[in-house]
Chain A
Amino acid sequence: MRITRIAAFAAVATLSLGLAACGKEGTPTPETPAGQSGAPAAQGDACTSSGTSFTPATGVDIAGSPTFAKIKTAGKVVIGVKFDQPNLGYKDASGKRCGFDIEIAQLIASKLGIDPAKIEYKEVASANRETAIKGGEVDYYVGTYSITDKRKADVSFAGPYFIAAQDLLVRKDDTSITGSDSLKGKKVCSATGSTPIQRVRDQKLTEDSNIVEFKTYSECVSQLIDKKVDAVTTDDAILKGYAAQNPSLLKVVGKPFTDPTTGKPYPEKYGIGLPHDDKALRDFVNAALEKAESDGTWQKIYDGTLGKSGSAGTAPALEKY
């Protein structure tokens, strides 16, 4: 008797859930193609590389680099990356990795004499990057890692290999947001505690109650598609990756945020994060980047990844130190 009662409850619960799901399907959302409203990964998920091939260099030696000695002994390299940034650092449903940062990471690995197939990728969240590099969990880090003086106290940087600026991602049909000065009364989302969202807060571009923070940009983009937020803000490189993934729903405003005192945009110089005292490795990576920029490899990687968003990019000048 008891069991039948439990079974009846289970049946009712299942039925009501099923009905709720039916109700959703009936909701008219014409601009949303089937399957797209779910996880942002659903559309354009499969990874495609830029087609650049990386042949491992032979007989490499970097005198005085403890990191390189470790890589050479292990026969593999551990690279810290992002996994949730389409066209930058991304891992698709089948486990394949692709994007601009990933290919830069592969380029460096090949120069170090490591076959890109032997790379061990480690997904490290933004907040843990310095810890991971300092603790030796990763040999180097490539993942929208902005070069700042404060970070230089903990790690060192090769590059920059890309310069981004803060921009806005909005729904395609939204014409009310044209730049950072039209955010009043709009909900703005970014990663918890990140510089872009602190800038929005400090410059009072929108009300404090309209600031939304999630752990990942993917969660922000999901909230944007569901109309719970009106804009996602961070580096344009990251935003263009999402726009290219969902071109029918999203667009990048294309007007970089500017410093209210100087009127200039905030450049985010992406560097390769390296252990702090390994100058030999830093010089080596800088040389590898310089070569890639001059022989067209950089351009080829860019065009095959971020360039698919339709905006051109040029290699920035390195800042060696």
Chain B
Amino acid sequence: MNEFLHVLTDNWDIIGSHFLTTIELFLIAAVGSLVLGTLLTAMRVSPVPALRGFGTSYVLLLRNCPLTLVFALLVFAVPKLDVSIDYFPGACIALIAYTSAFVCEALRSGINTVPVGQAEAARALGMNFTQVLSNVVLPQAFRTVVPPMISVFNAMLKNTTIAAGFSVAEAGAIQAYLSERSENQIYVLLWIAIGFLILVVPLVTLQRMLERRWRVAR
């Protein structure tokens, strides 16, 4: 037990700073993918065929592409085109691009729960597409998709560890550092698991809170 605790206290410099990067990566990617995902959803339900087509192909492509491949494309393929993206922004872009496809699908499932009559009524009142979407449809859609949306972000939190393979010093890289320090690998991995458990707690709390506050009376 003592040895187990020492793995954490002796290596707090590594563990703490790496988990901090994980949190940064998660927060940036969460905000980014929520915004991009909402935009994509708007495209997919918009009356413009070209936008619908773009939204559909984007989701089709990114949702079926392994995240590691998205990372590899940004880090190894893009520099060949003489475009240079630094590693941390690159990781943010990869995570946002990938997660937004899932956000879009979750949100679209919420839109499908809003009765068509509501949109028709809004349009009959003279609202345009943007107004219908932002004032009538999306607020109701967001309420119904809290659990799946939190699941998407929960999965994204764990997906951040892929960035460790692409030069971002986050939680996924802790194991490599501590193995160089010859620490017990079982203890190291247990501490990483505990770290992620702690990070998930606020997400679950947020879900409970939103679900309670946004409960739809039927």
| Interface set of A (CB-CB < 8 Å, partner B) | 5, 9, 13, 20, 23-24, 27, 37, 126-128, 130-131, 148, 150-151, 153-154, 189, 191-195, 198, 212-215, 219, 222-223, 226-228
Contacts and interface: CB of A to CB of B under 8 A. Distances in A.
29 contacts: A5-B53, A9-B53, A27-B81, A37-B80, A127-B175, A127-B180, A128-B179, A130-B179, A131-B185, A148-B182, A150-B181, A150-B182, A192-B177, A193-B177, A193-B178, A194-B176, A198-B177, A198-B180, A212-B87, A212-B167, A213-B167, A213-B173, A215-B176, A219-B76, A223-B76, A226-B76, A226-B80, A227-B79, A228-B79
B50 to A, nearest CB: 11
Nearest to B172: A192
A191 B164 CA distance: 11
A28 to B, nearest CB: 10
A224 to B, nearest CB: 11
Contacts of A212: 87, 167
User: Helix, strand, loop or mixed for chain B's interface?
Assistant: helix
A223 B182 contact: no
B182 A154 contact: yes
A284 B82 CA distance: 54
Contacts of B164: 192
A276 to B, nearest CB: 13
Contacts of A191: 176
A126 B179 CA distance: 9
Contacts of B173: 192-193, 213
Contact of B179 (A189, A193, A198, A215): A193
B169 interface: yes
A127 B179 contact: yes
Interface residues of B, number: 25
B69 to A, nearest CB: 14
Contacts of B75: 223
Interface of B: 53, 57, 75-76, 79-82, 84, 87, 164-167, 169, 173, 175-182, 185
A166 B164 CA distance: 24
A193 B180 CA distance: 7
User: Which residue among A151, A154, A191, A192 has the maximum number of chain B CB atoms within 10 Å of its CB?
Assistant: A192
Contacts of B185: 131
Closest 9 CB pairs of A and B: A193-B177, A193-B176, A226-B79, A127-B179, A192-B176, A150-B182, A212-B167, A193-B180, A228-B79
A313 B86 CA distance: 39
